[in-house]
Structure 1
Amino acid sequence: MKNLFYSALTGIAMLCMPFAHVRGQAFTENFDDITLLAGNGWFLQNNSSPVGITNWFQGTSVANGGPFDAYNGAANAYIGANFNNTTGGSGIISTWLLTPNRTFRNGDVLTFYTRKPATPVGGTDYPDRLEVRLSTNGASTNVGAAGNNVGDFTTLLLSVNPTLVAGGYPFVWTQYTITVSGLPAPTSGRIAFRYFVTGAGPSGTNSDYIGIDNVVYTPYVCPAFTVSPASVPNGTAGSLYSQNLSQTGALGAPNYAITAGALPPGLTLSAAGVISGTPTATGTFNFTVTVNDNSGCSGSRAYSITTVCPANPTSLNGLPALCSNDAPYALVEGLPGGGTYSGTGVSGGQFDPASGTQTITYDYTDPYGCSHSTSAAITVNTAPVVGFTAPAAACSNGTPFAITGGTPAGGTYSGTGVSGGQFDPASGTQSVTYTYTDANGCSNNAVASITVNTAPTVSFTAPADVCSDAAPFAITGGTPAGGTYSGTGVSGGQFDPASGTQTVTYNYTDVNGCTGSAVADITVHPLPVVNLGADITTPNASATITAPAGFVAYLWNTSATTQSITVTTSGTYSVTVTDANGCSNSDAVNFVTTFSVENTDGSKGLARIFPNPASSVLNVVFEGINTSEIRVEMLSLTGAVLFSEMLYPSAGNATRTYDMGAYAEGIYMLRFTHDNITRTQRVVVKK
Structure 2
Amino acid sequence: MDQETCAGGSITLDAGNTGSTYLWSNGSTSQSITVSTSGNYSVFVTDANGCSATDDVNVTVHPNPTVDLGMDQETCAGGSITLDAGNTGSTYLWNTGASTQSIAVSTSGNYSVVVTDANGCSATDDVNVTVHPNPTVDLGMDQETCAGGSITLDAGNTGSTYLWSNGSTSQSITVSTSGNYSVFVTDANGCSATDDVNVTVHPNPTVDLGMDQETCAGGSITLDAGNTGSTYLWNTGASTQSIAVSTSGNYSVVVTDANGCSATDDVNVTVHPNPTVDLGMDQETCAGGSITLDAGNTGSTYLVEYRSQHTKHYSFNFRQLFSGCNRCEWLFGNR
| TM-score scaled by length of structure 2 | 0.39
Larger radius of gyration: 1
State the structure with bigger RCO (CA 8 A, min sep 6), 1 or 2.
Answer: 2
| TM-score scaled by length of structure 1 | 0.21
